[in-house]
Amino acid sequence: QSALTQPASVSGSPGQSITISCIGTSSDVGTFNYVSWYQQNPGKAPKLIIYDVTNRPSGVSNRFSGSKSGNTASLVISGLQAEDEAVYYCNSYTSVRTWVFGGGTKLTVL
**Chain positions contacting another protein, by CB under 8 A:** 1, 3, 34-36, 38, 40, 44-48, 51-52, 55, 57, 89, 91-93, 96-104
Nearest distance, CB of residue 16 and another protein, angstroms: 25
Please report, as a single letter, which amino acid is at residue 67. S
Measured CA to CA in angstroms, residue 51 lies from 13, 15, 31, 108 at distances of: 26, 24, 15, 23
Closer residue to another protein in complex, CB, 100/109: 100
Nearest distance, CB of residue 15 and another protein, angstroms: 29
Closer residue to another protein in complex, CB, 17/26: 26
Closer residue to another protein in complex, CB, 3/110: 3
Tally Cβ neighbours within 10 Å of residue 35.
27
Tally Cβ neighbours within 10 Å of residue 92.
27
Determine contact, residues 68/25, Cβ cutoff 8 Å: no
Nearest distance, CB of residue 14 and another protein, angstroms: 27
Distance, in Å, from the CA atom of 40 to the CA atom of 96, rounded to the nearest integer, reads: 27
Nearest distance, CB of residue 38 and another protein, angstroms: 8
